[in-house]
Structure 1
Amino acid sequence: MNGTAHSVIVVGSGPTGLLLAGDLAAAGVRVTLVEKRPHGISNLSRAFVVHARTLEQLDARGLADEIEALGKPLGRLRLFGGLTIDLTVLPSRFNHLLVLPQYEVEKALERRAVEAGVSFAYETEVTGLVQGADGVTVQVRRGDGEPGELSAAYVVGADGMRSSVREAVGLPFPGRSVIRSVVLADVRLAEQPQDLLTVNTVGDAFAFIAPFGDGYHRVIGWNRAHDVPDDEPLGLDEIREIVRLALGRDFGMHDARWMSRFHSDERQAPHYRVGRVLLAGDAAHVHTPAGGQGMNTGLQDAANLGWKLAAVLNGRASEALLDTYEAERHPVGRAVLRSSGGIVRMAMAKRPWTRAGRAVLTGVIGRVGPARTRAVGQVTGIGVHYPAPRGSHALVGRRVPDIALDGGTRLYEALRAGEFVLILPQGETYKSGAVRVAHWASGRRTALLVRPDGYAAWATDAPAEGGVKSTDFPGEFAGYSLR
């Protein structure tokens, strides 16, 4: 394992793998990103929504403004049953949903990864791996068919639902197929839909339409009454019929450049870490497309894992810090399974009593503030928080918004250094190289320590006389020395 003590192999060059690899390389870790496909960004990706919390994470990497300029913001989302979700009330700089194809996100993340120094190994398929006391050896098959080996201190599987890394460590992927025979197509439309995102369900039919921005629209549809295998031939007439059933008309769709049929699963690995091997994104959890949470959840997995893995490899934390990745993100994956599955089941409610239940629930979400806030927070990621030690300040484990800092800067600009940020009352000082120091632009007296992923690690409303000292922090943050 010579020369691998400070290195990571990331398997899978989708959004999750690209963000993670870029974070690690930016922190000085040697990273090899392994991908079995040839190099290229595919426009056949299914994700079309970037949520507020993901945009905040991209902002902490200097990418959000670029991404925002490419997409189309949507402040209100109209769903089934007349339910309208107002996103403009989100406590975020990004108080909207961004309609943007996944490949645009991948382009930005790939460029960042290349600039940070990530080494790419395309047309390289993982066929197995062996863990040792000091690292992992990964067996691969290259594009020419020749076998080979790669070694690193850690391996992260971000290689999707059929993860070779997950299979290699023997982790099951329990769950089930929720929807079969979902159809996808990229088409041109003779009529433009009234809404930026068009979605509805009628009877057995569901349809979703979103623009690519290049004259084509992505159509997703499902007809419960037409349940056929994934390899059943698919024609444009079938897609038109599903859209007419769900939306009342087919908008004159024509010139399909791509069509496909697939099934949607709900699955989650029981663990996200096995020794020196970790899972992220679809390799760890898959859900229905409802709510557009798949890509977003994977990117937030990567944001949680990257700084922790870098801290361990850079000697600033013990391996115990890696256990917090599963402890924090596994419950989030489980919650996304519940919420996305719940949306699908409500949308496709068939029996009179389930439709009545849907009407009651949508009414509650639409009229009751706390219920609406919780639902919007779950889907957008803004409401996600992590467990805090008993007796901690109320902010610990919570997402920290983009606080205005003294000098005209913002918290998420300060987080671009990839370090903890200590926000102090004006006039207070802290002398240590372990954290980055900033001050509130307001007169607030709270001292707040923010993790590199934008969550609160420690806080106090009453700094000790003489200001905050290193001894005020917990001696260790799950193995990360803050002193």
Structure 2
Amino acid sequence: MNGNLGTPRSVIVVGAGPTGLLLAGDLAAAGVPVTLLEKRPRKISNLSRAFGVHARTLEQLDARGLADPLIATGDTITGLRLFRRLTLDLGTLPSRFPFLLITPQYEVERLLERRARELGVDFAHESEVVGLRQDDTGVDLAVRGSDGTVVTHRAAYVVGTDGHRSAVREAIGLPFPGVSVIRSLILADVRLAQQPEGVLTVNGAGDAFAMIASFGDGWYRVMGWNRRHEVSDDAPLDLDEVKEITRRALGTDYGMHDARWLSRFHSDERQAPKYRVGRVFLAGDAAHIHSPAGGQGMNTGLQDAANLGWKLAAAVQGWAPEGLLDTYEAERHPVGKAVLRSSGGLVRLARAHSPVLRAVRALVSAFVNMAEPAQRKALAQISGLGYKYAAPRGSHGLTGTRIPDVALKSGRLHEALRGGRFVLIAPAGSYEESGDRTNRLTVERWAGDRRTTVLVRPDGYVAWAAENADATAVETALTAALGH
């Protein structure tokens, strides 16, 4: 470990999964000294559970120049079929990415780790957090290395992105209330004699559910459950059981053979009551875990990181407006709760076994299929495009919303956001930045003749907007968001 851990104006991120990697990279890109601690040895595992990257996450990755390389690692699907009756048309999403990208989590991690290393993140593997103390000026973190030696390091802030068994969450005394939604899930990596029709195959029938996703290299990930055989995570699992569940749910096992990995796990719904305690924050699975329905877990964690990174950088660098760090929990906790509710609802409908619940599922499916507003709402929630953050009373309607990848005179908005700065989109000739905020602000012009002035946060959400704003109004908004 280098001196970053000993500096009072640095950040320590604990946990090198997708959330921690994105966050650490964003901090480093902003010039903040950051160290990423990971309990495991350096290795990107192919045993990850996440397989779907949604549109909003791809937009965030595009704002970091990573979306196109990631898309090249997988396949895209434009339709999701649930419960045999419910079909969601992702091709209608108002995004540059109107699809679901099917690619394993380790591909996401590879890209994010490469970016973090290139930006100068200090990685410390085989480093386990064993204690934490904080005061008004910083956090002392006790870390046990691979040789068993415990060393205490100090930083301005610490973020726990260390999963559902988070040592950071435990150290700050936060509970993790919730329930087990599915008591027994099976996972397997297999080869198939017959290729499924699509990149993602999923269905439930009777007491069984199964999903098959392609790695793209001849291997397939199988996930499933059997309501009539719910056992502990450490119970033996063999390929015959995986085949049986798959046949019951999908009608065939596609000639499954040569399993290279078999595992059981259970799926919980849990959320920490707070995402911040003093100078310590939680993000990703350390803050919330969801059922696998809808594939929103990893995506929600990456959105947490995108929200928190620029705010922490502003605080470390001394220009954060009063209360900025509090907005992380205020904005992201409700999103985590909404994902918990929606993914839990999907899995409960998928597991419906009583005639009444199955009738409800049929009605829900028919309604969403036929009602365009219901379809749009479902798509907005699953894709992550529809979440809006609270805005002050009387604000412009755009305030707090995610802004699409709009056309600018210089190119696209996502390209302008790659500097990690706020972007002010102004009508031609209406405002010229002449202050000392150039390291925090980029001024752009609309490609067309639109008269709305929009201040876009580094995470792609609107901080402020106005119609026909004069220079005084713009300067007031910039001062409120970026300081002097």
TM-score bracket for the superposition, by shorter chain length:
over 0.9
Amino acid at match of 2:413: L
Quote the Cα distance in structure 1 between the aligned partners of 2:322 and 2:260.
48
The corresponding residue for 2:415 is: 413
Tell me the secondary structure at the aligned position of residue 473 of structure 1. Answer: helix
2:477 paired with 1:473: yes
Quote the Cα distance in structure 2 between the aligned partners of 1:476 and 1:468.
12
Q: Which of the numbers 440, 462, 466 marks the counterpart of 2:468? A: 462
The corresponding residue for 1:447 is: 453
Q: Cα deviations across residues 404-461 of structure 1 (Å, max 9, x unaligned)? A: 0013x10000001111100011232222443210000011110000000000010011
Q: Which of the numbers 59, 68, 85 marks the counterpart of 1:82? A: 85
* 1:290 to partner: Cα distance: 0.5
Amino acid at match of 1:316: W
* 1:151 to partner: Cα distance: 1.3
The corresponding residue for 2:314 is: 311
The corresponding residue for 2:230 is: 227
Quote the Cα distance in structure 1 between the aligned partners of 2:153 and 2:361.
52
2:75 paired with 1:62: no
Quote the Cα distance in structure 1 between the aligned partners of 2:383 and 2:307.
16
% of aligned pairs identical? 65
Q: Write out aligned runs for 1:80-119 (5 A).
A: 80-119=83-122
Q: Which of the numbers 37, 42, 47 marks the counterpart of 2:40? A: 37
Q: Write out aligned runs for 1:8-407 (5 A).
A: 8-318=11-321, 320-407=323-410
Quote the Cα distance in structure 1 between the aligned partners of 2:258 and 2:6.
53
- The count of aligned residue pairs is 477
Give the TM-score taking structure 2 as reference length.
0.97
Quote the Cα distance in structure 2 between the aligned partners of 1:89 and 1:324.
31
* 1:363 to partner: Cα distance: 1.1
Change (3 A) 1:245 1:2: closer
Change (3 A) 1:379 1:2: closer
Tell me the secondary structure at the aligned position of residue 141 of structure 2. Answer: strand
Give the TM-score taking structure 1 as reference length.
0.97
Whether the 8 Å contact between 2:56 and 2:384 is mirrored in structure 1 is yes
Change (3 A) 1:378 1:2: closer
Quote the Cα distance in structure 2 between the aligned partners of 1:86 and 1:153.
45
* 1:71 to partner: Cα distance: 1.3
Amino acid at match of 2:169: R
Q: Bigger shift: 342-351 or 420-429?
A: 420-429
Amino acid at match of 2:227: R
Q: Cα deviations across residues 312-340 of structure 1 (Å, max 9, x unaligned)? A: 11111146211000000000000000010
Quote the Cα distance in structure 1 between the aligned partners of 2:106 and 2:199.
19
Amino acid at match of 1:53: R
Whether the 8 Å contact between 1:10 and 1:17 is mirrored in structure 2 is yes
Tell me the secondary structure at the aligned position of residue 112 of structure 1. Answer: helix
Quote the Cα distance in structure 1 between the aligned partners of 2:163 and 2:321.
28
**Structure 2: 5+ residue runs without aligned partners?**
none
Quote the Cα distance in structure 2 between the aligned partners of 1:450 and 1:294.
26
Tell me the secondary structure at the aligned position of residue 217 of structure 2. Answer: coil
* 1:70 to partner: Cα distance: 1.1
Quote the Cα distance in structure 2 between the aligned partners of 1:333 and 1:144.
37
Q: Which of the numbers 427, 430, 434 marks the counterpart of 1:428? A: 430
Quote the Cα distance in structure 2 between the aligned partners of 1:336 and 1:387.
17
Stretches of 4+ moved more than 4 A in 1? 467-470
Quote the Cα distance in structure 2 between the aligned partners of 1:414 and 1:468.
24
Quote the Cα distance in structure 2 between the aligned partners of 1:23 and 1:62.
12
Q: Cα deviations across residues 263-284 of structure 1 (Å, max 9, x unaligned)? A: 0000000000000000000000
